[in-house]
Amino acid sequence: MAGRVDLDGNPIKPMTICMIGAGGFIGSHLCEKLMSETPHTVLAVDVYSDKIKHLLEPTSLPWNGRIQFHRINIKNDSRLEGLIKMADLTVNLAAICTPADYNTRPLDTIYSNFIDALPVVKYCSENGKRLIHFSTCEVYGKTIGAFLPEDSPLRQDPAYFVLSEEASPCIFGPIEKQRWSYACAKQLIERLIYAEGAENGLEFTIVRPFNWIGPRMDFIPGIDGPSEGVPRVLACFSNNLLRHEPLKLVDGGHSQRTFIYIKDAIEAVFLMIENPARANGHIFNVGNPNNEVTVKQLAEMMTQVYSKVSGETPLETPTVDVSSKEFYGEGYDDSDKRIPDMTIINRQLGWNPKTSLWDLLESTLTYQHRTYAEAVKQAMSKTTAN
Ligand code: NAD
Ligand code: UDP
């Protein structure tokens, strides 16, 4: 840890980071790396701590004293401002961010992603504190190409689908498609942060994650989350594989995504944390443009990789089609394609993702199998016995 320098060769001073949403998927990986590789201190704020329990106990851990957990709901807790004042930097990850909630709990989604983030922005601005705020690639909505005729050659032209921070428009569906409640709330908080920067000098960085996946993402329904809960696609497909049931392809699984390994993405956030002069005032796409697949291809790859890591033979019919209305309910809509433009993050931070989709699926599904296979087997045998 000694002698750590930033990208411009300046020594990095130990800092205190107020991390809101530290108990979630991304927060747990950020905390883990901050503890093992830096001298920084983390004030970890969340309503849950299960995913960072291994960093908080026992007290003999080498980083004892450098991470403190504060069980706080930022909706209504006066301790929040004090923690932001104590820190040099605030990282805000707190959000409702599972698509199954956007159309079924639109009010909670809008409050969580916009209203609840307002005091965080205000306290940072008023107290002259730096803010790294987590937004989403979903602020881009649909691509321009999605509106071209199916057979238009322009659909192959990157100008019609690559998503660029400083050039692409944000294209959402109609209001009755409540899927876009999340994207719209995130867009408005981005605009507010940007305006605080322009009018009041707030030092900010906005991160737009493009489908970060890896261990500890979401939950397995009925094991460490509600039986009827619908997590994001990695956990949905993992759950199907663990239960030896077909993977459900929403509306045929034609939508395209680029997936990035959580550990690659965390490297990018580290560079932002430790290089404020290069990161302040910027919005960064963080994704892996080389890992593009349709959801159907993802299902096929996960089936193949899971069979390898578990030793189980795949089902004869490994996938089944399901309509979005049946799977998510009324008001669902989808992003068609998400390729991040990497120009800005490359220029400012010299960062590039490394891990291929095959490799990241292998390490992630090895983790899922090791962590959940036994618990799922027991839960299934109990259900059969009853
Ligand atoms: P996550 O759900 O695992 O983590 C969010 C954490 O915030 C949870 O631990 C939750 O308990 C906490 N939280 C929510 N509301 C809170 C409140 N009122 N008070 C205190 N804590 C609260 O999600 P994640 O994947 O780690 O995502 C983190 C951020 O990144 C979110 O803002 C999300 O919108 C954004 N994001 C992530 C991805 C991705 O690929 N994982 C993609 C796009 C955007
Ligand atoms: N999806 C699917 N089956 C599932 C879960 C998700 O086909 O069991 C699809 C979903 O409709 C979307 C994609 O997978 O097209 C990615 O969904 P995710 O929940 O990970 O979030 P998103 O990328 O849409 O934000």
> What is the average per-residue pLDDT within 274-296?
98
CATH number for the domain harbouring residue 358: 3.40.50.720
Ligand 2 touching residue 179 (CB < 6 A): no
Cβ within 8 Å of residue 338, ≥6 positions away: 137, 140, 163, 210, 211, 256, 257, 258, 287
Q: Is residue 61 part of a domain?
A: no
pLDDT of residue 2: 61
pLDDT of residue 382: 85
Contact 175, 230 (CB under 8 A): no
> What is the average per-residue pLDDT within 239-251?
98
pLDDT of residue 110: 98
Whether 332 is a known active-site residue: answer no
DSSP state, 12? P
> What is the average per-residue pLDDT within 139-143?
98
Q: To 10 degrees, the CA torsion angle through 198, 75, 65, 4? A: -20
Average pLDDT value for the chain: 97
pLDDT of residue 193: 99
Q: How confident is the model at residue 386 (pLDDT cuts 50, 70, 90)?
A: confident
pLDDT of residue 257: 98
Ligand 1 touching residue 180 (CB < 6 A): no
Please say if the pLDDT value at position 141 is more than 80.
yes
Q: pLDDT, tens digit, for every residue of 189-236?
A: 999 999 999 999 999 999 999 999 999 999 999 999 999 999 999 999
Cβ within 8 Å of residue 376, ≥6 positions away: 220, 223, 239, 242, 243
Where in the sequence is the domain holding 358, given as residue range(s)? Answer: 95-374
Q: Is residue 50 part of a domain?
A: no
Q: Rounded distance, CA 199 to CA 151, Å?
A: 46
Indicate the number of domains in the chain: 1
Q: How far away, in angstroms, is 135 Cα from ligand 1 center? A: 10
Q: Rounded distance, CA 75 to CA 21, Å?
A: 12
Q: How far away, in angstroms, is 248 Cα from ligand 2 center? A: 10
> What is the average per-residue pLDDT within 169-176?
97
Q: Is residue 215 part of a domain?
A: yes
Please say if the pLDDT value at position 384 is more than 90.
no
Probe target for ligand 1 pocket from 134, 288, 364, with the most ligand atoms within 8 Å of CB: 134
Q: Is residue 57 part of a domain?
A: no
pLDDT of residue 385: 78
Q: Is residue 120 part of a domain?
A: yes
pLDDT of residue 130: 98
Which residue's CA is the nearest one to ligand 1's atom 43? Answer: 136
Q: Rounded distance, CA 80 to CA 7, Å?
A: 32
Q: Rounded distance, CA 310 to CA 31, Å?
A: 29
Contact 289, 258 (CB under 8 A): yes
Q: pLDDT, tens digit, for every residue of 184-196?
A: 999 999 999 999 9
Q: pLDDT, tens digit, for every residue of 8-42?
A: 999 999 999 999 999 999 999 999 999 999 999 99
**Predicted-complex ipTM score:** 0.99
Ligand 1 touching residue 231 (CB < 6 A): no
Question: What ligand has the least distance to the C-alpha of 260?
Answer: 1
Number of neighbouring beta carbons within 10 Å of residue 336: 15
Q: Rounded distance, CA 361 to CA 232, Å?
A: 15
Question: E strands, 40-160, where?
Answer: 41-46, 67-71, 89-92, 130-134
Q: Rounded distance, CA 236 to CA 222, Å?
A: 12
Please say if the pLDDT value at position 262 is more than 80.
yes
Q: Is residue 278 part of a domain?
A: yes
> What is the average per-residue pLDDT within 149-166?
97
Q: pLDDT, tens digit, for every residue of 43-102?
A: 999 999 999 999 999 989 999 999 999 999 999 999 999 999 999 999 999 999 999 999
In the numeric block, which tokens belong to residue 320?
């089944």
Q: Is residue 77 part of a domain?
A: no
pLDDT of residue 1: 62
Q: Is residue 150 part of a domain?
A: yes
